[in-house]
Amino acid sequence: MKFLEIAGKDLKAEFRTKQMLNSMMIFAFLVIVIFSFAFGNESSILIPGINRKVVDLLAPGILWIAFTFAGMLGLSRSFAGEKEEGCLEGLKLCPVDRSDIYNGKVLSNAVLMFLMEIITIPIFVILFSYGIKNIPGLLLVVLLGTCGFIFVGTLLSALAVNTRTREILLPVILFPVLLPVILSAVTATGTMLATGEISEIMGEIQLLAVYDVIFFIVAQMVFEYTIED
């Protein structure tokens, strides 16, 4: 349970300044606003033939672009802060397993990201005057997708912080590995927003769950090599 204390330390430091959380939320908000300006009136046009509005087809993509880009902000700072003043050395000296450091970081990153998502979804609904068909289903998809994002992202964030280019490298190496998650999360989110039939997205949910489990286990095994020196 040592990882709870590491997560607690991170969250306590974060909630004192709320630096990261604020910038993630405002960034996600801005992404939604930019899309609402960019698509403007066109988003409410009804597409003849399939009887759906343009926004129905764009919505899952807009949501996940906001989530991944804002989440990337949080991830890139997650280990960069530890690099300053030798905090990472202090963490490594703690009498805990290396994977506990990873689990603690995962937990604190996930809390920040869920907070950002919980705020972003209502903003999206208001700005696009949009109705969600199946809210529990959407939350399940967002939960699974975010877990995948955080599991891989935290590991690669620890990897990227040790390189020369640091924050610039993280998106470049994270997005290709994440694309399977984004691909299935966007498809599943689209179904949840439009029809809300949970039986239609069982394939995507399975894939997301398998991806989450694989990366959680792989990260436990290889994390210690990313911070070793």
Partner 1 sequence: MTNTETRKDMSKKILYAMTAVLMLISVYMVFSGYSPIPVSTKEATGDPNNFKIFYFHVPIAITAYVAFAIVFASGVMYLRSKQQKWDIIALSAAEVGVIFAFLTLVSGSIWARSAWGDYWVVWDVRLNTSLVLFLIYLSYLMVRQAVEEPEKRARLSAVFGIVGFIGVPLSFMSIRLWNKATIHPVAELNYTTMSPLILTFFVNFAAYLLLVISLIVFKIENEQVKEKVNELKRQKNL
Binding interface with partner 1 (CB under 8 A)? 152, 155-156, 159-160, 162-165, 169, 172-173, 175-177, 179-180, 183, 203, 207, 211, 214-215, 218, 222, 225-226, 228-229
Place of tokens 């209502």: 122
- Pick the closer one to partner 1 by CB: 24 or 59: 59
CB of 188 to partner 1, least distance (A): 13
Distance CA 127, CA 123 (A): 6
- Pick the closer one to partner 1 by CB: 28 or 182: 182
Q: Which tokens sit at 173?
A: 């190496």
CB of 187 to partner 1, least distance (A): 8
Distance CA 205, CA 143 (A): 11
- Pick the closer one to partner 1 by CB: 29 or 151: 151
CB of 19 to partner 1, least distance (A): 26
CB of 219 to partner 1, least distance (A): 8
Give the angle subtended at the CA of 39 by the CAs of 34 and 41, to the nearest 5°.
Answer: 125
Q: Which tokens sit at 2?
A: 């040592």
Residue pair 71/80 in contact by the 8 Å Cβ criterion = no
CB of 211 to partner 1, least distance (A): 8
- Identify any residues that bridge with 13 across adjacent strands, giving them in sequence order: none
- Pick the closer one to partner 1 by CB: 120 or 154: 154
Distance CA 204, CA 190 (A): 11
- Pick the closer one to partner 1 by CB: 32 or 156: 156
